Structure 1
Amino acid sequence: MQASTVAIVTGASRGLGQALALGLMQADTRLTTVARSHDPKLAEHAAATGCTLQQVQSDLANPSAAERVAKQVVAGLPAGAKRYVLINNAGTVHPIHQAADLDNAAAITAAFSLNVTSVMLITAAFLQAVKPLQADCRIINISSGAGRNPTAGWGVYCATKAALDHYSNVLHAENHGVRIVSLAPGVVDTGMQETIRGSTSIDFPNVERFAQLHAQGQLAAPADVAGRILRYLSSDDFGTTVLDDIRNHA
């Protein structure tokens, strides 16, 4: 069966990325996922749904690896699909420190490589591959409210997400013939939230608020957020607003 949708999702082995990958799986979909590890759950669901799945294992925090992956995942994109989708979801909140303690160059560089550089590399390869196809092409960059509001202790995370937002604005301004949204997903119950709750109040003064959100059951389930994101992705007004928040959509 010829694929009707061709999709790429990064950071797909757990949390929101995994939920997005699972939600995309249909018999007429060709899905490529990128993560540091192979995910048996994705493989099992692909077999059950008839989705064509390719799992690429790589650490996108490594710029050289990200460059190789960017070329690999788009090299075999089939022509003739109705829709081509790229969801840049991989990201990290590390390192969490006050600005005076952000003195680990390797940790800072890895965060920028994962949150920004890999997005640029994979997006560039995607644009080069889909431009001749003249199809419906859509890109979601998973951003964060942290890129739009300063948060003490998140100097690196806020900076990378702000960079992602502005990069998305540039993509839109360049008019590559794709619809682009930098989308904040809200507060989702993922491994990143566990990392945040494990912070010290010295590094992250707002840690107690996130602990309370978890204790009070106020974190959104990844599957629920993924469902909303995928409904928005398929909507006619997708891309009308470049910097958006999924909580603005049903």
Structure 2
Amino acid sequence: MQATTVAIVTGASRGLGQALAMGLLGPDTYLCTVARTRNTELAARAAQSGAQLQQIQCDLADPAAAEQTATRIMGSLPTDAQRYLLINNAGIVDPVGQADQLLQASAITAALTLNITSVMLLTAAFVQASKPRQADSRILNISSGAGRNPTPGWSVYCASKAALDHYTRVLACENHGVRAVALAPGVIDTAMQHAIRGAAPADFPNVAKFQQLHEQGQLSSPEATAARILRYIVRDDFGDTVLDDIRNYD
């Protein structure tokens, strides 16, 4: 069956990425996911829904692997879809620690590669592949409030998300014929949040705040957030606000 929508989602093995991928499955969709591990639940759901699914196992924190994956994905996309979506969701908060303790270049480099370099690589390949097709092409970069507000202990994460925001603004003003948004998704109950709550206060002074959010049930579920994002990404005004927050919408 011909796909009317082609969607690419990174970080789809769990959490928000998995929920986004699940929500995109449908008989008229070609879905390509990128994650370090294969998602058997997603594969089973795709078979039930009649969706076309390609799962690519790749560690996007490895620059060479990220580059190869970007080229591979864009060379295999259906050419006659009506809409093309790229959702750059993969990200990592580590390394967590005060700025004067960030002494391991490998940890910093891996985080920056995953959070921003892989986004640039996938986006460049996506734009090159989708532009000749003159279809409705949209890029959604999952950002964070941490990129817009300094958070002690999150130097690397804040810096990478701030870079992601500004990169998205540059992409949008270059006018490549694609709509691009950097979207803060709010605080979600994911494995990342679990790791954050386990951080040492000396490394992350705001840990008590996140523990309290969890205890008070103020974290959104991945499924609820994904549903809101998928409604957002097909809006007619998508791209009008380049730096956005899903909490501004129902």
In which range does the TM-score fall when normalised by the shorter chain? over 0.9
Write out per-residue CA displacement over residues 89-132 of structure 1, whole angstroms, 9 at most, x where no aligned residue: 00000000000001110000000000000000000000010010
Counterpart in the other structure of 2:235: 235
Sequence identity percentage:
66
Distance in 1 (alpha carbons) for counterparts of 2:75 and 2:223: 30
Q: Quote the Cα distance in structure 1 between the aligned partners of 2:7 and 2:204.
A: 36
**Separation (CA, whole Å) in 2 of partners of 1:138 and 1:100:** 39
Distance 1:77 1:210 in 2: 40
In the other structure, the counterpart of 1:160 is 160
Distance in 2, matches of 1:142 and 1:225, equals 12
Q: Distance in 1 between the 2:58 and 2:80 partners?
A: 28
For 2:68, what is the secondary structure of its paired residue?
helix
Please show how residues 207-246 of structure 1 align to structure 2 within 5 Å.
Answer: 207-246=207-246
Superposed, 1:1-250 pairs within 5 Å as 1-250=1-250
TM-score between the two structures when normalised by the length of structure 2: 0.99
TM-score (norm 1): 0.99
The Cα RMSD (Å) is 0.5
Equivalents in 1 of 2:58, 2:202: separation in Å?
Answer: 33
Question: What amino acid is the match of 2:66?
Answer: A
Q: Cα deviation per residue 1:183-238 (whole Å; 9 max; x = unaligned)?
A: 00000000110110110000000001101111111100000000000001111011
Structure 1 regions of 5+ residues with no counterpart? Answer: none
**Structure 2 CA distance for aligned equivalents of residues 236 and 131 of structure 1:** 19
Deviations 1:22-42 (A, max 9, x none): 000010000000000000010
Shift of 1:79: 1.3
After TM superposition, what 4+ stretches of structure 1 lie above 4 angstroms from structure 2?
Answer: none
In 1, distance between residues paired with 2:167 and 2:109?
Answer: 18
- The gaps in structure 2 that reach 5 residues or longer are none
SS in 1 for 2:71: helix
Equivalences, count:
250
What SS class does the counterpart of residue 230 from structure 2 fall into? helix
Secondary structure of the residue aligned to 2:217 is: coil
